[in-house]
């Protein structure tokens, strides 16, 4: 029920993540932007990736447009620091990987919950909370409780 496009910052070539996982983007970010708007933009975690997202003016513009239109923005682990870099969601409640708390609490209401939803902003802490993060996004997109069959299949319920 949810269509996902994985976009690569530097094109559509495979990307090796911080823990050695290889992700194969469906398209470049530049090409994906041609299909905007999106119901949700999700920023993945990982320190290196978050730094790259924070440094990308293209990501910044996309996030700012998404926020301005009231559409969903989501970030997990280190990725909320990219939101800060692009002034997205300022003043809202969020969470992140714990080492970023001090940096983020200057402009956000920091919470230590596994998943924090504040209006159109969804954030989560890290790898162990990724399923809860994904299920929360699904419930927002498809309606409360919609993710229950998926959660059950994942043994989360």
H/E/C letters for each residue in the chain?
CCCCCCEECCCCCCEECCCCCEECCCEEHHHHHCCCCCCEEEECCCHHHHHHHHHCHHHHHHHHHHHHCCCEEEEECCCHHHHHHCCCCCCCEECCCHHHHHHHCCCCEECCCCEEEECCEEEECCHHHHHHHHHHHHHHHHCCCCCHHHHHHCCCC
Is residue 17 among the annotated active site residues?
Answer: no
Q: Which CATH number fits domain 7-153: 3.40.50.880, 3.30.465.10, 3.90.25.10, 1.10.287.3510?
A: 3.40.50.880
Of the residues 43, 62, 74, 77, only one is catalytic, namely 77
Digit-coded pLDDT (tens) for 54-95: 999 999 999 999 999 999 999 999 999 999 999 999 999 999
Digit-coded pLDDT (tens) for 78-137: 999 999 999 999 999 999 999 999 999 999 999 999 999 999 999 999 999 999 999 999
């Amino acid at each position: 029920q949810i269509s996902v496009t994985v976009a690569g910052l530097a094109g559509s070539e495979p990307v090796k993540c911080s823990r050695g996982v290889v992700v194969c983007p469906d398209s470049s970010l530049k090409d994906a932007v041609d299909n905007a708007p999106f119901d949700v933009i999700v920023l993945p975690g990982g320190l290196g990736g978050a730094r790259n997202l924070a440094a990308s003016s293209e990501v910044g513009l996309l996030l700012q447009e998404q926020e301005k239109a009231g559409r969903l923005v989501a970030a997990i682990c280190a990725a909320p620091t990219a939101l800060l870099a692009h002034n997205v969601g300022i003043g809202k409640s969020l969470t992140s990987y714990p080492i970023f708390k001090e940096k983020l609490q200057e402009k956000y209401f920091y919470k230590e919950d596994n998943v924090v939803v504040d209006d159109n902003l969804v954030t989560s802490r890290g790898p162990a909370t990724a399923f809860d993060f994904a299920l929360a996004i699904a419930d927002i997109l498809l309606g409360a409780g919609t993710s229950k069959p998926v959660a059950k299949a994942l043994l989360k319920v």
